[in-house]
Amino acid sequence: MSGTIDRSWLLESATFSRPVIREIQRAAREGIYDIRGFGAKRSVPSFDDLLLLGASMSRYPLEGYREKCDTTVTLGTRHARKPVTLDTPITIAGMSFGALSAQAKEALGRGATEVGTSTTTGDGGMTPEERRHSNLLVYQYLPSRYGMNPDDLRKADAVEIVVGQGAKPGGGGMLLGQKISDRVAEMRNLPKGIDQRSACRHPDWTGPDDLEIKVHELREITDWQVPIYIKVGATRTFFDVQLAVKAGADVVVVDGMQGGTAATQDVFIEHVGIPTLPATRIAVEALRDLGMHRTVQLIVSGGIRSGADVAKALALGADAVSIGTAALIAMGDNSPEHEAEYNALGTSAGYYDDYQDGRDPSGISTQDPDLGARLDPELAGRRVANYIRVLTLELQTLARAAGKTNVRNLEPEDLVALTVEAAAMARVPLAGTDWIPGK
Amino acid sequence: MEFDLSVQTVRNLNAFLHDQGSSDSRVTVNNSAGRHNVAVGAVHPCRIEINGHVGYYCAGMNQHADILVRGNAGPGLAENMMSGTVRVTGNASQYCAATTHGGLVVVEGNAAARCGISMKGVDIVVGGSIGHMSAFMAQSGRLVVCGDAGNALGDSIYEARIYVRGRIAGLGTDCVEKPMLDEHGKELERLLESAGMQYPADEFRRYGSARRLYNFDVDNAGAY
Ligand SMILES: Cc1cc2nc3c(=O)[nH]c(=O)nc-3n(C[C@H](O)[C@H](O)[C@H](O)COP(=O)(O)O)c2cc1C
């Protein structure tokens, strides 16, 4: 029957679209909210809504491949005796062992090391594989403190205190029982097979004044050697960044609402926090207001995909970016090679977001030994390295076109906005005008 | 070795504790005057005696050292300690032994709210009473309270065991009283003895997880 109707007459409701209808039906059937991985899927103002102005008469460009365009960045110059120097301002974000397989964690370390950048542990602690394969490893200090111990802390090249994540500012986490293998259970001091909840608040400090003492404790334990980052989800970004600086951070990490996650309620991912675009501009403003821009470095994340995204983030004043989802995709997540298996899970390559579920055919977001074994850490690591190389080359291409010998010389003056919204959020003029809404 | 914190800094003390080679050394700390982060990250077996009150995170992440505080301790005493012992002759503020993995923490006086929050294997013995929300999400280890416990004791507790001698203002979600079997009496006696507390084990009752919230079930949503 369905084959015989003329579908061109069918009008889909903008309010009750097919995905909305399907979600209502699912909720009515199951009685539980949707938990998934990935980041926000809705369209929000983003770096795509900005354009870079290349050089022309009033300023001259640099020759691609010939004239130097420096990409190195040093993080942690405020207090650390051993700041972290990266060859490219693109770092790998914290993703937990537990959410990801040991193979995936190793691959991320290999990839980052190959291109001279850092990778980051996650909820669940540091694995020996990732330490061994990561030349520069940032150790996350999270509310759950799963796997947290002073030996690993001292092995880290930097410490990142996680206050929040862009996908779920104000939210904790949950690793569902099916992803709790013996090894994950042991690292987290919990029985196998039970849901592991990650608290939304730190257990031993509650506000910025406490945090300052906590930062001091971590510095004392690490003998003031390594930088301390503070990561926040983008919400009240101006105040959060200033409070992080006051608490003594060397580096502030701001993760916008598009940021990926391993397992969060869909309603949280899509409806809490602000996009990476305004968050970046506000964070820079907060640092400038304190006279701390470039003294405390800024890393932004959440939906970074291309060298253009990186260039625009740096032009707004960030020192570096970090990538999560894109690195997973580079390793083989959502690859069409697994289409039949994605179909069996009721989805398709390009749509797969069930990182919480543990049945990832690519062997990345799983603790199943057979699935994990499908991911070759060397090959996947090379792909991550290739991908970051491409982003770096794209970034340099754009920076040279704007006449910059250092990618961090990109500046807001090199940007215009395509939409009124983006102009207001980034505080750069609407293209073809000198109008900055709200200014 | 002696440190006078009215002259030397907490940095001097901690650097010494991290670097010292000798295993049988005694370290005395005077004039701590409520300073934060006193004796954090100690790594060697040694005895550290602190004469005076301490602020936040005293003995944080301790490994192997035996630390005595003659005074009161601020928030986060012995947080995330891995091994060794910490004893406080006075009271301890909030989040005492938060996320602590191993060793023994003894508070001779009272401990405030969230004592043993997210504890991951430590033994805690409190001579007096503890505040509300203690042993929240406690994963493993044992918490012994010779006095009373505040509200919501053991909320969302996992596998940790709690022994309380006095009254409990209220148990948290999924925390229930459990039978005191022989093995528990013996375990408790050992803990009391190692803490130097003189109470008969049979005056205590035992609490732990009902394990009803271990796997998410929508029918339990109201319990959270
Ligand atoms: C699978 C996965 C696991 C994650 N685990 C953590 C974590 O343990 N700690 C954390 O701070 N952020 C975690 N994140 C968030 C990332 O650190 C980062 O903020 C985010 O992925 C950046 O956005 P992007 O994915 O769009 O690049 C995770 C993200 C993903 C995709």
Give the 3-state secondary structure of chain B. CEEECCCCCHHHHHHHHHHCCCCCCEEEEECCCCECCCCCCCCCCCEEEEECCECCCCCCCCCCCEEEEECCECCCCCCCCCCCEEEECCCECCCCCCCCCCCEEEECCCECCCCCCCCEEEEEEECCCECCCCCCCCCEEEEEECCCECCCECCCCCCCEEEECCCECCECCCEEEECCCHHHHHHHHHHHHHHCCCCCHHHCEEEEECCCCCCCCHHHHHHC
Provide the pLDDT for residue A32: 85
Q: Searching chain B, which residue's CA lies closest to the CA of residue A210?
A: B56
User: ipTM of the predicted structure?
Assistant: 0.96
Nearest-CA distance A289 → chain B (Å): 29
A2 has pLDDT over 80: no
Provide the pLDDT for residue B217: 74
Enter the DSSP assignment of A405. Answer: S
**Bigger pLDDT: A32 or A226?**
A226
Whether residue B44 lies within 8 A of chain A, CB to CB, comes out as no
Structural domains of chain B, with CATH: 2-215 (2.160.20.60)
Provide the pLDDT for residue A175: 78
Q: What is the pTM of this model?
A: 0.96
Nearest-CA distance A117 → chain B (Å): 28
Please give the average per-residue pLDDT across A27-35, as a whole number.
Answer: 90
Task: Work out the mean pLDDT of chain A and round it to a whole number.
Answer: 95
Provide the pLDDT for residue A369: 95
A117 has pLDDT over 70: yes
Provide the pLDDT for residue A194: 85
- Its CATH class, for the domain covering A35-407, is alpha beta
Ligand 1 centroid from CA A95, angstroms: 5
For B218, the closest of A31, A190, A195 (CB atoms) is A31
Using one digit for the tens of pLDDT, what is the confidence trace for A303-313?
A: 999 999 999 99
Please give the average per-residue pLDDT across A328-334, as a whole number.
Answer: 98
Provide the pLDDT for residue A176: 77
Nearest partner of A104 among A337, A367, A389, A390, judged by Cα: A367
Provide the pLDDT for residue B222: 65
* Contact by Cβ (8 Å): B37, A212: no
DSSP per residue, A325-350: HHHHHHHTTT-GGGHHHHHHTT--TT
Provide the pLDDT for residue A4: 83
Provide the pLDDT for residue A3: 64
- B positions 181-220 inside 8 Å of A (CB): 214-216, 218
Nearest-CA distance A198 → chain B (Å): 10
Provide the pLDDT for residue B79: 98
Whether residue A189 lies within 8 A of chain B, CB to CB, comes out as yes
Intervals of chain B under pLDDT 50 = none
Identify the band that residue A193 occupies on the pLDDT scale cut at 50, 70 and 90. confident
Q: Searching chain A, which residue's CA lies closest to the CA of residue B99?
A: A145
Provide the pLDDT for residue B24: 55
Provide the pLDDT for residue A330: 98
Which among A44, A47, A91, A95 is the best mutation to test ligand 1's pocket, defined by most ligand atoms within 8 Å of the CB? A95
- A 10 A CB-CB count for B22 gives 10
Provide the pLDDT for residue A268: 95
